[in-house]
Amino acid sequence: MAFLLSFVAGSPVEALLPADATAEDAERLTETLGLDEPLHVQYARFLQRAVRGDFGESIKWRGQSAMGIVFERLPMTLQLALTALTFSIVVAVPIGVLSAVHKDGYFDRFGKVIALLGQSLPPFWLGIMLIWFLGVGLGWLPVAGAGSWRHIVMPAIALGWYQVAAIMRLTRSAMLDVLDSEYIKLARMKGVSERSVIWKHALRNALIVPLTYLGIILGAVITRTVVVEVVFGWPGTGTLVMEAVLGRDLPVVNAVLIIFAAIFVVANFLVDILYAVIDPRIRLQ
C-alpha cells in the first residue's frame, strides 16, 4: 500500500530538482533513483527492502535513513499517545461507572453533558484554547515543545478528551447490562460489599466493551495525534510526517506509514491479550 501511495504522491523527481532543471537532468535523476525500470521490478525491490525495514535515505534530511529518523521520533509519539489514553481511561471509566450506578441521577446527566461536549470539540481547537487559558492566560504550563512532565499535560488532555466521551458512554451502558445479570445478584446475596460488587465483579466484565472500542478507534487516535502534535509543536512522528509530506520526502512518509500500520496491528493484538486477562472465559476457548 505504501508503494501505491508513493505513486499517487507525485514524482519525487519534481520535488528534488531546482525549478530551472532541464528535461535531461530529470532523466538522469530518474535513472539514479531507479524510477525508469518497469513497475513490477520497482515493486519487487520495494518489497524486498520494506521487509527489512529499509526505505532508503531520507530526501529532506540527507544522510539519514528514513527508518532511523522515524524511530528517533517514535518514543515521543508513544509517550504522548499513552499518556492521553491513560488520561481518557482514568477520567472516563469512573464517570461511566458512577453514571450507571446512579442512573438518571444528577451524576448521570452531568456525564451526558460531558459526553456530548467531548464528541463535539475539535481536538485542534481544544488544544489552542488550552494554550490560551492555561499556557498564556494563567501561565501554568509551557505552551509548546517537550521536556518535562509539564509539557505533556496540555497535549495529553487535548488528545485524550475526545475518547473520554466515548469510553464513558460505553462503560456506562456495559455496566448497566452487567449490573442486571444473575451473578451480580448472586454476589449481592452472598453479602459481598456494594463497593466490591461494582468496582470488582461488575467493572471487570463491563470493561470488555470499551477495550474493543480502543482497538477500533486506534486509526482515528493516530490522526488526532498528528494534529495535536502539530498544535503543540510536539517533536514526535506527527510533526515529522507533516514536514516530510510538505518536503515530498517519500521514504520518510513510507516509513511512517509502515510504522503506523505496525502499531495498529500490535495494538489490536494487545487488546486481544487483555481480553483474556480480564475475562477468563475467553482464555479457555
Partner 1 sequence: MPSSIRESGSSSRDVRPRGRSGRAPFVSIAILFFFLVLPSLVPDLMAPHDPLQGVFADRLRPPVFFGGTWEYPLGTDQLGRDILSRIIHGASVSLSVSLTGIFLGGLVGTTLGMIAGYFGGAVDAIIMRLVEVTMSIPLILLGLVLALSLGSSFQSIIIVIVLVLWAYYARQIRGEVLTIRERVFIDRARVAGASHLRILIRHIFPNIVNTLIVLATLQVAVVIIMEATLSFLGLGLPRPFPAWGLMVADGRTLIVRAWWIAFFPGLSIMLVVLALNVLGDWLRDRLDPKLRQL
Q: Least Å distance between CB 208 and partner 1?
A: 12
Choose which of 152, 154, 158, 165 interacts with partner 1 (CB under 8 A).
Answer: 165
Q: Indicate the residue among 207 and 253 with the shorter CB distance to partner 1.
A: 253
Judged by CB under 8 A, does residue 103 bind partner 1?
yes
Q: Mask: binding to partner 1, 110-149, rule CB under 8 A, as x and -? A: ------xx-xxxxxxx--xx-xx---x-------------
Choose which of 50, 192, 223, 274 interacts with partner 1 (CB under 8 A).
Answer: 223
Q: Mask: binding to partner 1, 6-45, rule CB under 8 A, as x and -? A: --xxx-----------------------------------
CA–CA gap between residue 106 and residue 129 (Å, rounded): 28
Judged by CB under 8 A, does residue 243 bind partner 1?
no
User: C-alpha angle 113/142/70, rounded to 5°?
Assistant: 90
CA–CA gap between residue 119 and residue 169 (Å, rounded): 11
Choose which of 27, 72, 180, 272 interacts with partner 1 (CB under 8 A).
Answer: 180
Choose which of 264, 274, 275, 278 interacts with partner 1 (CB under 8 A).
Answer: 264
Choose which of 47, 216, 276, 277 interacts with partner 1 (CB under 8 A).
Answer: 216
The stretch among 1-9, 58-66, 82-90, 199-207 that binds partner 1 (CB under 8 A) is: 1-9
Are 185 and 242 contacting, i.e. CB atoms less than 8 angstroms apart? no
CA–CA gap between residue 222 and residue 84 (Å, rounded): 12
Are 74 and 31 contacting, i.e. CB atoms less than 8 angstroms apart? no
Of residues 125, 147, 129, the one with CA closest to residue 138 = 129
Q: Indicate the residue among 22 and 120 with the shorter CB distance to partner 1.
A: 120
Choose which of 145, 219, 276, 283 interacts with partner 1 (CB under 8 A).
Answer: 219
Judged by CB under 8 A, does residue 5 bind partner 1?
yes
Judged by CB under 8 A, does residue 220 bind partner 1?
yes
CA–CA gap between residue 118 and residue 124 (Å, rounded): 13
State the amino acid at position 216 in one-letter form.
Answer: I
Q: What is the DSSP string of 204-225?
A: HHHTHHHHHHHHHHHHHHHHHH
Q: Indicate the residue among 44 and 144 with the shorter CB distance to partner 1.
A: 144
- What are the C-alpha distances in Å from 10 to residues 7, 65, 249? 6, 21, 11
236 C-beta neighbours (distance < 10 Å), count = 24
Q: Least Å distance between CB 134 and partner 1?
A: 12
C-alpha cell belonging to residue 53: 525495514
Q: What is the DSSP string of 142-161?
A: -SS--SSHHHHHHHHHHHHH
> Given the rule CB under 8 A, which residues bind partner 1?
1, 5, 8-10, 103-104, 116-117, 119-125, 128-129, 131-132, 136, 165-166, 169-170, 172-174, 176-177, 180, 213, 216-217, 219-220, 222-223, 226-227, 230-231, 241-242, 245, 248, 253, 256-257, 260-261, 264
